[in-house]
Structure 1
């Protein structure tokens, strides 16, 4: 799952999502989705490869859902407090049961905000709602499953799930 070629299956500029297919023999373990939307102040864990080439590789971070809308009241995303860096985009955001509740998409441009307001914002990051990913996937012929969500999982188990399911995607454009 590390460094294999992929092909783009589909993309949505409206949802800011893309589906890719691995051409490798070994497939990652798919994550399951949460049956419910993430709630305000619920704990989340995100995963990705932040600042690829500068930092050591796979990373997990914790935070919470801090606002039920995105930038400028955007309804396709939620605001999260988990730290997001360049190259985190596309990584999963899971709840305490291990179910996907979002797809990490961006962070607030603090340099632009500081120029406009004189203040540096902290922990203002965004994820596309998991419910939108659950619409996007089947509309592109991709099945998904949902987690039962009865018992919470340990943070270490969340990291293991995420590591087995998350890969670095580099675009050659």
Structure 2
């Protein structure tokens, strides 16, 4: 049996007490069931419109969704992004595999090969020898809003081209794949159910445009079980950037300038309310540090709260990223962190 591939990200939840209705009281006798309606009631117009929009988006996108089987018994999903057989998927789907079997919706199977991969964003590009394939439409993930409807399509547990539905729960999430696992930044959080085998498949808006690459589901560490309604996707704009870089490299063009690299996974911003409750400063918490990376070498540690960078106050992860992107690899960046009641100033040499 093939094993579905999916990253699991760990979250901690606060348990709340609950009580049972009617504890110690006899179960009341149920009343009679109401008589069935003589004829089905028509669905509200808005519901019909939404249903048709979902169906249309699925029909537009499904022909571009493939299955990817690995020589290690894994099964994932992929997105056709060019007519000549380029397929976008997650790096963790194809990691360590030499032989890939790519299944198309029309029933054909091709041998695939990995032509590029970037574990820092968990994306990979697979190539098959085929022509005239239906490439998916790629949208703009920067325009996503919490509450927006989205659809996940993939091959969870071997159920090919399964469709699930949900909303954008949040954007710009920073998550970590398991204890000590890799950090993934700027992720899309969605309530659309994602299960093993969904990895690499598309997250789609109601226009049938791919807005994300389904990647990970959250688990509750206290129960060791997958948390329902909390899943994550790589933004499609991140994928488009990598596709452009890989295309330039394949064409022998000069590589795009390297981006500065700090080497940390950032947590959610500490707002003023939490800061007052716990007696800590507002800022950006460090969840994990890349071993041997720039931040690690400078002495930044997990649990630190970054409160200042380059002489500027830092309140959010976006502000810190903006400062880093204004630099070049090799530049020195002065970072001030809060650690166990003390503030420390550290100098980081940015990587690239």
User: Which position in structure 1 is the counterpart of 2:156?
Assistant: 50
Structure with greater Cα Rg:
2
User: Which position in structure 1 is the counterpart of 2:297?
Assistant: none
The Cα of 1:100 is off from its aligned counterpart by: 1.2
Structure 1 portions without partners, runs of 5+:
143-173
Structure 2 portions without partners, runs of 5+:
1-103, 177-182, 249-352
CA separation of 1:11 and 1:124: change in aligned 2, threshold 3 A:
same
The Cα of 1:81 is off from its aligned counterpart by: 0.5
Secondary structure in 1 matching 2:114:
strand
Query: Which is bigger in relative contact order (C-alpha 8 A, separation at least 6)?
Result: 1
Correspondence 1:3-152 to 2 at 5 A: 3-23=109-129, 25-37=130-142, 38-52=144-158, 55=159, 57-68=160-171, 69-71=173-175, 74-110=184-220, 112-115=221-224, 121-141=227-247
Aligned mates of 1:28, 1:93 — CA distance in 2 = 20
CA separation of 1:6 and 1:27: change in aligned 2, threshold 3 A:
farther
Poorly superposed stretches of 4+, deviation over 4 Å: none
Contact 1:76–1:132 at 8 Å: present in 2 too? no
Q: Deviations over 1:121-146 (max 9, x none)?
A: 3201010011101101111118xxxx
Q: How high is the TM-score relative to the length of structure 1? A: 0.69
| Greater strand fraction, Structure 1 or Structure 2 | 2
The Cα of 1:66 is off from its aligned counterpart by: 0.4
- Two-structure CA RMSD over aligned residues (Å): 2.2
Contact 1:70–1:126 at 8 Å: present in 2 too? no
User: Which position in structure 1 is the counterpart of 2:77?
Assistant: none
Contact 1:113–1:121 at 8 Å: present in 2 too? no
Aligned mates of 1:9, 1:28 — CA distance in 2 = 18
The Cα of 1:109 is off from its aligned counterpart by: 2.4
Aligned mates of 2:235, 2:208 — CA distance in 1 = 15
CA separation of 1:51 and 1:120: change in aligned 2, threshold 3 A:
closer
Contact 1:50–1:86 at 8 Å: present in 2 too? yes
Secondary structure in 2 matching 1:96:
coil
Q: How high is the TM-score relative to the length of structure 2? A: 0.35
Secondary structure in 1 matching 2:139:
coil
Secondary structure in 2 matching 1:138:
helix
